[in-house]
Amino acid sequence: MAWAAGDWDFIPALRYDRNSHFGSQLSPGFGLVYHVPGWETGRVRARASRVFSAPPLLWLYNDDPNQGVAPNPDLKAERAMLYEIGVEGPLIVHGLKGALNLYRSDVKDAISTVPTVGLIRQSRNFKKFVRQGGEVRMDYVFGERWRSFAAATFNDVRDVQTKKIVRDAGTARESFKWGSSYAWPFGLTFYLQGYYNRWSSSPDQAKDHRPIFDIRLNQNIPDVLRDVDMEIFFNLYNITNSQHLSSPTYPLPGRYVEGGVSVNF
């Protein structure tokens, strides 16, 4: 639901979570969007919201050590306040768009993993974490067929009590993404995408200094039946077969492929 008033959009929100194990929470939120006059499609966004995040039951009751997860039946849900602000719009060069997004989250009963025995880790609650960071993204359109993008993200997670960086918190500390696509008139689209994540794992464990590349091919077949579209896809992941992990517990799969057909109606 949103209300518009001139160059402003006002977006209130309300969410209710009820969990039989972790309890319930009413989470209000409010957002603003300012459409900048004279800047085509340019806008500034801001949002504040309350967040409730329940952990998966695997972290509470896992009894298979091969999963690398030690159970913690006393684990609590995370509760947080999230603040976001961003700006996006076209830049001076024709076809070039840019975006800058920043966030901060104050998390109570924050969840992070700690080592136990061998490679097995256990999720535990900590009194309070601050998670904050930002992303810069650039998109460029070459005519009607070529599109390219590049993005860089930084995330900082710290324990408020110890003031130390939290390692293996589920989010890469530094992340870079880039890609390009070309669309032919007959419905075939080729995508080449890459990413490079640097986690905050201990240097003696992490093998995260390798870029990963993926290829995708999509063939769109519209109106195979009335109001029915079909898409044939083929994806090749990790084409260089790179080993990439934040810790020995979470290795990236090697090169693999997938393909199929999707139907939209």
Kindly state the helix (H) or strand (E) to which residue 58 belongs, with its residue range. Answer: helix 58-61
Q: Which of 171, 190, 207 is the last residue of a domain?
A: 171
Answer yes or no: do 182 and 165 share one domain.
Answer: no
Rounded Cα–Cα distance for residues 255 and 265 (Å): 33
Rounded to a whole number of angstroms, the CA Rg of the chain reads: 22
Rounded Cα–Cα distance for residues 1 and 13 (Å): 7
Answer yes or no: do 60 and 144 share one domain.
Answer: yes
Answer yes or no: do 114 and 186 share one domain.
Answer: no
Position 201 pLDDT exceeds 70: no
Answer yes or no: do 162 and 221 share one domain.
Answer: no
| Sign of CA pseudo-dihedral 135, 192, 97, 12 | negative
Answer yes or no: do 114 and 80 share one domain.
Answer: yes
Q: In CATH, what number is assigned to the domain containing residue 125? A: 2.40.170.20
Answer yes or no: do 58 and 162 share one domain.
Answer: yes
Of all residues in the chain, the percent with pLDDT exceeding 90 is: 67
Answer yes or no: do 232 and 162 share one domain.
Answer: no
Rounded Cα–Cα distance for residues 207 and 245 (Å): 5
Answer yes or no: do 47 and 163 share one domain.
Answer: yes
Position 35 pLDDT exceeds 70: yes
Give the other-Cβ count within 10 Å of 17's Cβ. 16
pTM of the model: 0.82
Please state, in angstroms and as integers, the Cα–Cα distance from residue 215 to each residue in 144, 222, 237, 238, 254, following that order: 21, 23, 6, 8, 14
Answer yes or no: do 137 and 198 share one domain.
Answer: no
- Residue 145, token pair as written in the block: 């067929």
| Per-residue model confidence as pLDDT tens digits over 127-173 | 999 999 999 999 999 888 999 999 999 999 999 999 998 876 677 88
Answer yes or no: do 94 and 159 share one domain.
Answer: yes
Q: Looking at per-residue confidence, does 20 or 247 come out higher? A: 20
Answer yes or no: do 38 and 160 share one domain.
Answer: yes
Task: Calculate mean pLDDT across residues 117-128.
Answer: 88
The residue segments making up the domain with residue 79 are 1-171
Q: Which of 118, 153, 171 is the last residue of a domain?
A: 171
| Best CA proximity match to 81, nearest among 41, 125, 32, 28 | 28
Domain count, the chain: 2
| Best CA proximity match to 247, nearest among 209, 200, 201, 198 | 201
Which DSSP category does 165 fall into? B
The predicted structure's pLDDT at residue 160: 95
Q: Quick one: pLDDT band at residue 119, thresholds 50, 70, 90?
A: confident
Answer yes or no: do 161 and 234 share one domain.
Answer: no
The predicted structure's pLDDT at residue 143: 86
| Per-residue model confidence as pLDDT tens digits over 213-227 | 999 999 999 888 888
Q: Which of 120, 153, 171 is the last residue of a domain?
A: 171
Lookup result for tokens 């309350």? 50
Provide the CB-side half-sphere exposure for 252 (13 A, CA).
24
